Every structure is written in structure tokens, then in C-alpha cells.
Structure 1
Amino acid sequence: MKLEKTIRSIPNYPKKGILFRDITSLLENKKAFNYTIKKMRFISSKVKFNKIAAIESRGFIFASVLSFLTKKPLILLRKKNKLPGKTISQKFKLEYGYDTIEIHKSSLKKNDKVLIIDDLIATGGTALAAAKLVEKTKAKVSGFVFLIDLFDLPGNKKLIAKGYKTFSLIKFPGH
């Protein structure tokens, strides 16, 4: 299946100069969504991990299904002030500003092996922040799984340069 054909591209969203890759068209296509999950499940079978971390918000979609299929706990990496318990925070730069993500302090333990899931990798700010959060808890990042790699943006290269394993199902130019 050519998953690329199920992704809608929207120019100049959320601001001028950004080509937004909209995954809602893939999610609305039951064959494409099921195929995506099967591929992500296959990729995850090649990585040793005992917990799955999902990056807000589109990462939640894929990670929750993978958590169910692999019978591994699901850890949420949320935007600032969205988690009710004691948290650890990490600020990061986006393509179009700054944001902060948080994790519950109690979610991960020393030596947990964490597979991080998100919909796409672009400049790498969110993914690197997620890795830093995981490592602040003394857990280890086993790898990343993305639906989309915007290959002409530096995110995936940054992750690999830091020694992280990365996997993606689709490669698109980011511009």
C-alpha cells in the first residue's frame, strides 16, 4: 500500500512557508490506518522496550493501539499543565515557536526501555525534548517510530547523530 497517497498536504499551514502533512486523511481510511498499525507493530517487534511513550497529540493515536497490541504500558508526553500529578518538564523549539512537554515523575523508572511514538519528525525539537524527558527519569530510549519523516528537515539526522534508532513508514519533503 502506498501510504503517501493517503496523506493530504496543506501549504502555508499553520503559517506561511510551512507545508503541513495532514494525517487525518490516513486515519479516515480504514485500510491505510490498519496497514499503518501493522507496519508500526512489525517495526516495534525489532526493538527491545518495556514501555511506550506517546508524544501529544497525534502520537497518542498510534501509541495507544501499539500499547494494546504489545501489552506494554502507555506513557503520555503532554503539553505543559495537562498532567495532574508531579511532572518533569522540557522546553523545546518548534518550526514556528516554542513549547514545553511534560511527563509524570512516576511514569518511568530507572532502566525502563522506552519506545517513543509520534506522527512525524521534522526539525527534531519535540522528539529531542521527549528523549531528554525520558532520560531525566533515568530510563533509556530504545528508539523512535514515526509515521512520516520530513527527510529534508534535520530532525531525523539529529536523532541519529545522538545515537537514537529511528524508524518511519513514509518519507516526504518538508517544503
Structure 2
Amino acid sequence: MNSCADLIKEQVRNVPDWPEPGVMFRDITTILQRPDTFRKVINAFLERYGNQEIDVVACIEARGFILGAPLAHQLGVSMIPVRKEGKLPWRTVSRSYDLEYGSAVIEVHEDSFSEGQRVLVVDDLIATGGTMLAACQLVEELGATVVEAASIIDLPELGGSAKLRDNNYAVYTLCDFSDS
């Protein structure tokens, strides 16, 4: 039987030169198309976090929503969307960050987290770490504590997971892809 990491590596679609030349995009939609693999991914996260004290799952737009919603549901905790700038309808706090191929801004409602809440931050992958780092910083800016930054895939050669650890955030991923 294949491990979850093996299934992910076998089933993720590699899309070269998207969204721009030189970028290898790791497309998880092929995992989502397979209910057995998607279930294994969610169960792998539940196995890790099911016995931890977590109050909120913060899900980064957009693929983080896909992972975080069932995870929050199964953990019986709140789900908070971390959105691209201009997508939330109420007062927000925001943070800008750099991407592998540009820069962007993410935001959350200013009442998303309460003082002392323990938050799991979730996205589909960690590349340069900019999005995940900005999300973790927003959680802390609003008084909560980041339990861990979690994703399906780590792209270690782009340095994102190292950047998160250098900023004192614990990181958990199900597998990593190396371009070498």
C-alpha cells in the first residue's frame, strides 16, 4: 500500500511554465478528483491534529479552503478564511508579501481571532513561504497563537519552509518535491 506522500507525488499534476515561464506549478486538482486520495490527505492531517489543542483553522485562499474546511469540520473548530485583498466584506487587517512570481496582499476580518486562541494555518503548498508567513503574522497580530503552518506539499528549494522556521513557526507538510 502506498503512503500518503507517495500517492501525492504520483497523482499531483506538474504544470511547467505556469503561471509564468520558469515556474513549475504543482496542481492538486488531480488529488481532489480522487476521493480515496483526498480522504487520505484529510485523514493524515486529522491524525496529526486530532489530539492537539486547536481552536481555529485559518485557511488561505483558495486551495487552503478546500483542505481547511473539512479539517475544521472534523476537528469541530472554527474555520477562518484568509483572503486576497478586497474580497472580505467587513473591516480587515492586511499584510503584503512576496510570491515566487510577484507580490500580493492578504487579509482577514479584524475579529477573526480572539486573544489566546490556538490556530492551525493551512494551505495547499509552501513555495517561497510569503503567503503562509503573512497569514501567520496576521494571526499573531490579532492576538492568537499559531500552532503550526501545514500544507500538502513543500517545495524546499524555494526556501519557504525554512523562512517560516526562521521566523519561529512550526511547519508540517505531507510531502516535498525537489527539482533536483
Q: 2:123 aligns with which of 109, 118, 128?
A: 118
Q: 1:109 aligns with which of 110, 114, 125?
A: 114
What is the CA distance between 1:47 and its match in structure 2? 3.7
What residue in structure 1 maps to residue 66 of structure 2? 61
List aligned pairs for 1:150-165, cutoff 5 A: 150-165=155-170
Deviations 1:23-79 (A, max 9, x none): 001100111111101001112135432111000000000100001100000011000
How far apart are the structure 2 equivalents of 1:48 and 1:12?
A: 40
| Partner secondary structure for residue 170 of structure 1 | strand
What residue in structure 1 maps to residue 134 of structure 2? 129
Q: 1:100 aligns with which of 97, 102, 105?
A: 105
Task: Provide the aligned length of Structure 1 versus Structure 2.
Answer: 175
Q: 1:140 aligns with which of 140, 145, 148?
A: 145
| Partner secondary structure for residue 9 of structure 1 | strand
What is the CA distance between 1:107 and its match in structure 2? 1.1
> Are 1:40 and 2:45 an aligned pair?
yes
How far apart are the structure 2 equivalents of 1:121 and 1:89?
A: 20
Moved over 6 A (4+): none
How far apart are the structure 2 equivalents of 1:40 and 1:53?
A: 14
> Are 1:71 and 2:76 an aligned pair?
yes
- TM-score, length of structure 2 as denominator length: 0.94
Contact 1:151 1:174 in 2 (8 A): no
Contact 1:50 1:114 in 2 (8 A): yes
| Partner secondary structure for residue 85 of structure 1 | coil
> Are 1:81 and 2:86 an aligned pair?
yes
Q: Structure 1 vs Structure 2: percent identity of aligned residues?
A: 37
Deviations 1:116-168 (A, max 9, x none): 00000010100110011111101111111100001211100111122211111
| Partner secondary structure for residue 157 of structure 2 | coil
How far apart are the structure 1 equivalents of 2:140 and 2:74?
A: 25
How far apart are the structure 2 equivalents of 1:40 and 1:82?
A: 27
What residue in structure 2 maps to residue 8 of structure 1? 13
Contact 1:47 1:143 in 2 (8 A): no
- TM-score, length of structure 1 as denominator length: 0.96
Q: Which amino acid aligns with 2:157?
A: D
Q: Which amino acid aligns with 1:164?
A: Y
User: Which consecutive residues of structure 1, in runs of 5 or more, have no partner in the other structure?
Assistant: none
